[in-house]
Chains A and B, each alone.
Chain A
């Protein structure tokens, strides 16, 4: 189903639901949950356990704020804005500094895979990270992919801050050496 079809279908179900059709509304929420799961999983792949919680958080938010959707407005931007707001909120609560996709975008040229789509890139990143020792891998996942600060990563993983920094630095260096990327990783975050 194309994005336009999905939009039309979801919109039809939501409007029917708001008009009192509980079956349509239920179907709307189910379809929406599926899309949200995909959207959030791509952005939270360092935190698979949080995906379902955030899906529920978003569903609840969209339900309680459904009066802010107007029938003459496209549904996708509305859904997207709320999901993104809740995602950033989760990261902020965790003390994260940025939305996830920024660090991910930065990491792409480093991996020499700027052309591949996000799914492949994610697969590649995960596979490459697997080749690192556990502590380096965890540090890179937290700092470079999830966008946490060094201090937060240290608290989260029980390492010292300098150990996190060293882990990120050595890990990236090892990846660069192994996968033949010449550009030096940029300054530590």
Chain B
């Protein structure tokens, strides 16, 4: 086909069949993904029976807030990387802030605790399953975000995949926090961070494979 003919063909369809803008598509993905994550948490794990008392504990808010910050940073990065020619921006700072918060509180608690009590703060009761549970709960968010990205136009596929992973990991950890019985800050600093890193790694691996257009 000659280029003129292609242009003639395309020229009549500028306003027709337009897809939703990036922000709307991503918002939909986040809602759908979060619903999926909540469903897995409720069906497979159940809400922490002590939930009504939890808002009184500062650690609960750190457990919820740091992952939420990671998720928000990831979402912002996805929204930017989904559009050609828009740099990722400084969203890395959001994630760095969340990590600094987790690790700072963990260090303070670790140093303030008697030596005998430290290992319980780090290992808790559920360290074996925690990262994988977060990864599993994050999965619907990751899939929804990658699906939304496929309809958009990321040009840096590995980075876009990793950003989708950060969105998913943060969301997954925040949802898991509603179940999680652990309250040691060192526990969060290691196992929650690992759990959030899992979807990031999967996203970075999947990006170049599933996001090409």
In-complex Cβ contact of B7 among A18, A21, A29, A52 (8 A): A29
Residues B153 and A82 in contact, CB atoms below 8 Å apart: yes
Q: Is A66 an interface residue (CB 8 A)?
A: yes
Q: Is B3 an interface residue (CB 8 A)?
A: yes
The residue on B at minimum CB distance from A66 is: B18
In-complex Cβ contact of B83 among A17, A70, A89 (8 A): A70
Residues B7 and A61 in contact, CB atoms below 8 Å apart: no
Number of interface residues of B (CB under 8 A): 26
State whether A68 and B152 are in contact (beta carbons under 8 Å apart), knowing that A25-B11, A61-B213, A73-B85 are contacts in the complex.
yes
B-facing mask of A77-91, CB < 8 A → 1, else 0? 111111011000100
Q: Is B22 an interface residue (CB 8 A)?
A: yes
Residues B22 and A68 in contact, CB atoms below 8 Å apart: yes
CB-CB < 8 A to A63: which residues of B? Answer: 10, 13
State whether A59 and B85 are in contact (beta carbons under 8 Å apart), knowing that A22-B12, A67-B22 are contacts in the complex.
no
Q: Is A33 an interface residue (CB 8 A)?
A: yes
| Cα of A89 to Cα of B14 in the assembled complex, Å | 25
Q: Is A56 an interface residue (CB 8 A)?
A: yes
CB-CB < 8 A to B112: which residues of A? Answer: none
Q: Is B109 an interface residue (CB 8 A)?
A: no
Most buried by A among B13, B14, B15, B155: B14
Residues A70 and B21 in contact, CB atoms below 8 Å apart: yes
Which residues from chain B sit less than 8 Å from chain A, CB to CB? 1, 3, 6-8, 10-15, 18-22, 82-86, 152-153, 155, 212-213
- Top 7 nearest A-B pairs by Cβ distance? A77-B85, A26-B11, A81-B84, A25-B14, A81-B85, A78-B85, A65-B153
Which residues from chain A sit less than 8 Å from chain B, CB to CB? 17-22, 25-26, 29-30, 33, 52, 55-56, 59-61, 63, 65-70, 73-74, 76-82, 84-85, 89
